Every structure is written in structure tokens, then in C-alpha cells.
Structure 1
């Protein structure tokens, strides 16, 4: 988040510098509001670009070994442009390369990513026949006897991705 703040300030300073350079180069008087307006517009444009490009940049960071199962879009009052086009703030991806299929069971890693927050990787098992999921954190490899199963809707996008795309 600190780097994003620095980049936003840099975009504003760069835009103000362009206006100053044009003023010096063209030797034309510019209105006093031109420099702060250019800086403000550049910072706003960078913020909007950063919000809407986060999902694709995060997916690229995970690489081709994952498939996005679900996204969460939000509208936020302090970002009025999100009322026109909601911004993605969270997504869940499944590891397709490391997935292991055993009959109706699919074992894989589930990536939980949130913008401006910590991310998590949770090893999970999906039971495609009974439409349920178990987190396998702390369980011995291959032993599901102590697993807590969570029922899922058979049309749940995460379950559908695991059972259709990973099998």
C-alpha cells in the first residue's frame, strides 16, 4: 500500500512537471490552476487504473497454474466511479497444476486474495458427488477422517470450478 501511495504522488508530481515544462518550453503564461489540476487528474487517473487493473495483475502474479473460481465486486461511497462499474476487491483461485483427482474427490490449494489485505492459501478437498468441501489444514496427508465438511450449493462457482475445470 505504501508503494501505491508513492506511485500516486509520483504521478501527480510528474503531471505537474509536464505542465511546468510546457510553460517553460512554450513561454506562454498558463493559468495558475493548470499545474494542480493536472496533478490531481493524474493522481485520480492512476488510482482508478490501479483499482480496476488489480485483478488482472494479481492473476498474473499467480501464474498460469491457477484458475479463478470467484470474484467479489464492490461499490464504495468514497470511490463514486464504482457505482457505474463495481471494482473487484477479492477473488478465489484454485491451483489446477497441483490438483489431485481421486474419483469424486478433488484435492487442491485454494488461494484467497484480497486487495490491500493479507492473502491465504488453504489446502482443500472437494467432494463433487456430495457437493461439499473440507479444509485440510493440520490434517495428515490423505487422512480425511478428522476433516470438517462444509455443504456447498451444487451451483457454487468454487465447487463448479473444482469439479468441472480441475477434473
Structure 2
């Protein structure tokens, strides 16, 4: 967040400097307010680009084994452009590279990421035969059966995107 703030300020200052140089070279052909307007538009444009590209940049940084399974898009009153195209504020990925399989049970990590908030990694197990999920709060080890003793299983809908993606590991 701090780095994006610094980038916005630097971009505004750089844009203002370029417009001032153009004014000097053209002997004042541009109106005086053009410097402030150009700096403001550059800063606003960068902030909008940063918001809309956040999902793609963050998912790419996680690596190719992470599959985005669901995202939350929102319209926000303090960002009027989101009423035209909602902005993604949260998403969940399944770490297919860390998948363990035993007896039609798939264990993997879910990454829950939100813009401007700390992310969370949740180890989970999916019973692909019975259509249910259990959170493994202590993490999972090599003995998956022992990790699931006393697990609290939650029944899922058939078309749950997280369940569907995790169970593709069985194929």
C-alpha cells in the first residue's frame, strides 16, 4: 500500500514536470491549470489501473499452481467508475501444487486474499465422493487420515467452484 502511494505521488510529480517543460518550450501556449490537471489525471488513472489489475497481478505472483476459483466484485460509492465496471476486492485460489490425495479425499490449501488486507491460508480437505469439506486448522501432514479424525465436515452444493476445482486433482 505504501509503495503504491509513493508511485502515485511520483507519477503526479513527474507528469507535472513534463507539462511544465512543455509549457516552457512552447512559451506558455498551454493554460496554467494544465499542469495540475495533467498531474491529477495521471494519478487518478494510475489508481484506477492499480485497482482493476490487482487480481491479475496478485494471482500471477502466487504462481501457476494457484487456480482462482471465486472472486468478489463490488461497486463502491467513493469510486464512481465501479458502477460501470465493478472492481474485484477479494478472491480465493486453490493451491493445486500442494494437493494430497488419499481414498477420494483431496487435501490442499485455500488462499483467501483481499485488497488492502492481510491474506489467509486455510488448509482444507474435500471428500469428493460425498461432496463435503473439512477445515484442517492444524494443517495437514503426511498422515491425512489422522489429520481428519474428529473433523467437522460441511456438506457442499454440487456446483461449488472450490470443491469442483479441488476434486479435479482426482482425474
Normalising TM by the smaller chain, what interval?
over 0.9
Give yes or no for contact 2:107–2:140 (8 Å, CA) kept in 1.
no
1:140 deviation in Å? 6.4
1:4 deviation in Å? 1.2
RMSD of aligned residue pairs (Cα, Å) = 1.4
Give yes or no for contact 1:139–1:146 (8 Å, CA) kept in 2.
no
Note the residue ranges of structure 2 that are not aligned, 5 or more in a row: none
Shift in CA distance, 33/130, structure 1 to aligned 2, threshold 3 Å: same
TM-score, L = length of structure 2 = 0.91
TM-score, L = length of structure 1 = 0.93
Q: How does 1:83-94 map to 2 (within 5 A)?
A: 83-94=83-94
- Corresponding residue number in structure 2 for 1:155: 159
Quick one: distance in 2 between partners of 1:133 and 1:127? Answer: 6
Quick one: distance in 2 between partners of 1:139 and 1:82? Answer: 38
- Corresponding residue number in structure 1 for 2:46: 46
Secondary structure class of the residue paired with 1:9: helix
What number of residue pairs does the alignment pair up?
A: 166
Quick one: distance in 2 between partners of 1:163 and 1:135? Answer: 15
Note the residue ranges of structure 1 that are not aligned, 5 or more in a row: none
